[in-house]
Amino acid sequence: MLGGGVGCSRLAVALAAEIGPGRLTLIINTADDMWRYGLRICPDLDTNLYGLAGLRDEARGWGLADDTFLTIDQLRRLGHDTWFHLGDRDLATHILRTELLKGGLALSEATSELARRFGIETRLLPMTDSEVGTLLTMSDSTHNFQEWFVRLGAPGPVRQVVYDGLDHAVAAPGVLDAIADADLVVVGPSNPVSSIEPILALPGVRDRVMSRRSSVVAVTPVVGSVEITEQGEAHRARARRELMGAWGLTDSPSNVAALYTDLAATFVLDAADASVASVIEANGQSVVLADTIVANPGRGRRLAQTVLACTAGQHQRTAG
């Protein structure tokens, strides 16, 4: 599965439980990574790391459960700008990662070592070992992704999205082979602009996924017919809407499906949005209906089962 943060992580946990963690490989976006407090922070990698380890804060969708924030509180007392919150136990992950990187390991090697220490059997691959960043330009300023998303609250309108450093980056070891060798390739329910496109834009990745199109399933990150009330989900939806707008698109499941037309033969659409299935099918994709809102493990398992059952042209318009 290719993906990014919270949505990808929730589905990844369900897939690992359904097929066995050792049969799953995750290729994770690193274009929203950054240096902060002298440490290398990899939000999407860590959200998946903690989820697979059973340690993620389920209420927030990210970070470690039952973490404390004494270090951040003390930094604030000392007058430091603490807009990017990191828990005390979360900091240990970033300290160890930074130590491993400064000791000469590539990010993929450091990630493998962290996964081992967390007792994770799933193969967790950063999309690249190179440092890549997402820069968002508004009318009068440019910010990296985390500044825009966390510090500023994902304001708009976003005029331009630039993946800084991507032109010099290559896919991490194992990424292209994992796509080629997989029984099923899943484009996870992640933000198409900030999480999926950076992975696809790496040399060889888009072509490799396209070559597997009949075995590729894309899962919608958008449920257009359900009102979002949870604060974190609403924030992520607002960010996705602004970033899709920068591409000249509205934030709709049919537009997400259109972005993946050449990549995925099958699109998993939320059953609440069944009215747009015919629009997606008109572009040559099979549509599978499911409950895509993973609010608890039971719903996650049902979605995972639906995804695993997907093959091109089968289960069209079937509720999951």
How many residues in total does the chain contain? Answer: 320
pLDDT of residue 184: 96
State the CATH number of the domain containing residue 238. 3.40.50.10680
pTM value is: 0.94
- The total number of structural domains that make up the chain: 1
Q: Which domain holds residue 9?
A: 2-31+125-152+160-308
pLDDT tens-place string over residues 107-148: 999 999 999 999 999 999 999 999 999 999 999 899 999 999
> Angle, to 10 degrees, between the axis of helix 107-117 and the axis of helix 43-52?
30
Q: Is residue 26 part of a domain?
A: yes
Q: Is residue 48 part of a domain?
A: no
Q: Is residue 207 part of a domain?
A: yes
CA end-to-end span of the chain? 19
Q: Is residue 267 part of a domain?
A: yes
Q: Is residue 277 part of a domain?
A: yes
Q: Is residue 74 part of a domain?
A: no
148: alpha, beta or left? (left if phi > 0; alpha if psi -120 to 50): alpha
Contact status, residue 260 vs residue 286, Cβ threshold 8 Å: no
Is it the case that residue 10 has pLDDT exceeding 90? Answer: yes
pLDDT of residue 61: 77
DSSP of the chain, one letter per residue?
-EE-SHHHHHHHHHHHHHH-GGG-EEEE--TT-EEETTEEE-HHHHHHHHHHTT-B-TTTSSSBTT---HHHHHHHHTT----S---HHHHHHHHHHHHHHHTT--HHHHHHHHHHHTT--SEEEESBSS--EEEEE-SS-EEEHHIIIIIS-S-S---EEEEETGGG--BPTTHHHHHHH-S-EEE-SS-IIIIIHHHHTSTTHHHHHHHTGGGEEEE-S--TTS---SHHHHHHHHHHHHHHHHTT--S-HHHHHHHTTTT-SEEEEEGGGGGGHHHHHTTT-EEEEE-----SHHHHHHHHHHHHT--TTSSTT---
Specify which residues 2 forms β-bridges with. 27, 187
Burial of 185 (0-12, 13-18, 19+ CB in 10 A): buried
Is it the case that residue 319 has pLDDT exceeding 70? Answer: no
Q: Is residue 229 part of a domain?
A: yes
pLDDT tens-place string over residues 254-305: 999 999 999 999 999 999 999 999 999 999 999 999 999 887 778 889 999 9
Q: Is residue 80 part of a domain?
A: no
Contact status, residue 198 vs residue 166, Cβ threshold 8 Å: yes
pLDDT tens-place string over residues 222-261: 998 877 778 888 889 899 999 999 999 999 999 999 999 9
